Amino acid sequence: MASLKFSTKLKLMAVGMLVLAAGSARLYWLHNIEWSARIAWGEARGEGEDGMQAVLNVMVNRKKTPGFPKSLSAVARQPCQFSAYNDGDPNKIKLEAVDEGDLQYQEALRLAAWAQVGLLPDITGGATYFHSNQIERPAYLSDAKVSVVIGNHIFYAGVDEPQ
């Protein structure tokens, strides 16, 4: 059997590298969708589509804001930012265990896919923070503008720095 020419070997190596890169990009893409959907589901599954969309909007807005991570999955899993992902919160176990058999999680995945491609409309007015109306307004949001209330969550825009 004749050996391959050097140029043919280079072309085969380049094709192999492209296949690996495409596979890695796909995994990165899916990872961002999965984790942002899990957090949206964990934070707002009782708030319906608008509630989950608003949480995803906050993640997208943070991704665009200096000082925050630059991927949806990193924003979603940033320590002490989303209560549903905090250690000790009963929602953390639930959001780590939820699967595509859950209809609300399916909706969160659909919304997260739109967020990942940059086509999810922002219904929060640029909010980068929110909290439940069951708690007092945190001190670090004292000067922030309430941009919208959706369900049981109050959303804030105009917060200059990550807290």
CB 129 within 8 A of CB 89: no
CA 150 to chain centre: 18
The answer to whether residue 162 is domain-embedded is no
The answer to whether residue 60 is domain-embedded is yes
CB 129 within 8 A of CB 159: yes
Side chain identity, residue 12: L
Domain count, the chain: 1
Q: For residue 19, what are the domain limits?
A: 6-157
Residue 153 pairs in a beta bridge with: 132, 150
**What global pTM score does this model have?**
0.84
Collect all residues with Cβ–Cβ distance below 8 Å to 29 and sequence separation of at least 6: 116
- As a whole number, the mean pLDDT across the chain is 88
The answer to whether residue 116 is domain-embedded is yes
Reported confidence tier of residue 1, pLDDT bands at 50, 70, 90: very low
> For residues 1 and 120, what is the distance between their CA atoms, to the nearest angstrom?
55
pLDDT tens-digit readout, 66-80 = 999 999 999 999 999
Which H/E stretch holds residue 123?
Answer: none
119-143 burial, b if ≥16 CB within 10 A, otherwise e? Answer: ebebbbebbbbbbeeeeeeeeebee
Q: Which two tokens stand for residue 60?
A: 């997208």
How many other CB atoms sit within 10 Å of the CB of residue 31? 16
How confident is the model at residue 114, as a pLDDT?
96
Residue 145 pairs in a beta bridge with: 157
CB 53 within 8 A of CB 33: no
> For residues 35 and 27, what is the distance between their CA atoms, to the nearest angstrom?
12
Reported confidence tier of residue 159, pLDDT bands at 50, 70, 90: confident
**DSSP designation for 124:** S
pLDDT tens-digit readout, 84-141 = 999 999 999 999 999 999 999 999 999 999 999 999 999 999 999 999 999 999 999 9
